[in-house]
Chain A
């Protein structure tokens, strides 16, 4: 399945969260968003932001030195 990509490499938190937030604001519910980050804080901050704003984190993982978060856009945006 295709993802909207948010490239947040070399950005420190909360910028990856802001990039994800701003991208999700433009997308319909159900869309998948893949955030690629270099700040490990993104693995906690993006899921926290998703929990309080009604989006679902489908996967978090570490690929080498990159931190990946896959989010499904919720209804309540």
Chain B
């Protein structure tokens, strides 16, 4: 085995990528990790926003994995480039708005660019045949290798022996006999390998690491695109989809109502970009209005916000309104009774 060969490992923070990197490190290869940030990554955001979650132990699992492996980790912002993957996935969406196969192709392609720019030799991933219904199947593995351009420089150490030999194996950079033949959805082989390698603590699989696999989130994203008449988003849009109660009382505007103090604080940071409603006569939520609105629309939104305040049973609730950071003014509204809020307004 050559001591000089270098591999870049796609590190998600999950167990499979941790094991794949470790298996190759143990063959004497220098491995560095790469982690791509799309904006849709689940990692830690709810902790960061919600007050009740702030004191829970938190860690970035990709960084934690790299630290366990004693390797460098490069975190790459691909937010803008990734939009095309979300807008027009060549291989379509999964159960929700998750373009898993296109996503994997894109990430391997970006890893290939990084590999070439940094004079590394090959790419490794923690993919396992049959592990995921869309992107990790025997028939999609070659699609990822081919369409990413990585071809036989993409090695999947955990299932390599179920696949044709790659260049690192053919050239003897790695020993194929020391790679694995895992397949299917069972996690038992990975857990056994983790135990044999001394890993007792690792991220538990939790149904994906991306908000686009989440049904409720996907509905909100589709609602956003429908309201805009086109598939388009900015980072702030997709962050706001993770926060608050989203209600669309009219086609041309949506109200985002904080569900707790931490969310209110997070939404307050956007008050200069939106019409912002803050309940002042009673304890109550902060809310943003997304869309071009009239005074009448603002009053309707305020009635909704008042319904979620402690003044929901009062005759009237006072709210402070600021329009894109302009000088605030106050309005009084009657809270909308819960039974008068159509179910269809909830996004």
A interface residues (Cβ-Cβ under 8 A, vs B): 10, 12-15, 17-18, 21, 38-41, 44-45, 48-49, 51-53
Contact = CB atoms under 8 A, between A and B. Distances in A.
B67 A48 contact: yes
Nearest to B67: A52
A48 B59 contact: yes
Q: How large is the interface on B (under 10, 10 to 19, 20 to 34, 35 or more residues)?
A: 20 to 34
Contact of B37 (A14, A39, A51): A14
Contacts of A49: 63, 73, 75
Given A40-B54, A52-B66, A14 B72 contact: no
Contacts of B73: 49, 52-53
B110 interface: no
Contacts of A41: 44, 47-48, 58, 60
Given A14-B44, A15-B77, A39-B48, 14 more contacts: A12-B44, A12-B45, A12-B49, A13-B60, A15-B37, A18-B75, A21-B75, A40-B54, A41-B44, A41-B60, A45-B59, A45-B63, A48-B59, A52-B72
A51 B64 CA distance: 11
Contact of A14 (B43, B47, B239): B43
A77 B76 CA distance: 16
B60 A48 contact: yes
Contacts of A51: 67
B71 interface: yes
Interface of B: 35, 37, 41, 43-45, 47-49, 54, 58-60, 62-64, 66-67, 70-77, 239, 269
Given A12-B48, A15-B37, A18-B77, A44 B59 contact: yes
B48 A48 contact: no
B74 A21 contact: yes
A7 to B, nearest CB: 14
Contacts of B239: 12
A45 B60 contact: yes
Nearest to B47: A41
Nearest to A19: B77
Contacts of B54: 40
Contacts of B59: 44-45, 48
A8 to B, nearest CB: 12
29 contacts: A12-B45, A12-B239, A13-B43, A13-B60, A14-B35, A14-B37, A14-B60, A14-B62, A15-B37, A15-B77, A17-B60, A18-B76, A21-B74, A38-B269, A39-B44, A40-B58, A41-B47, A41-B58, A44-B58, A44-B59, A45-B59, A45-B63, A48-B67, A51-B67, A52-B70, A52-B71, A52-B72, A53-B72, A53-B73
A14 to B, nearest CB: 5
A48 B63 contact: yes
A52 B62 CA distance: 11
B263 to A, nearest CB: 13
B141 to A, nearest CB: 28
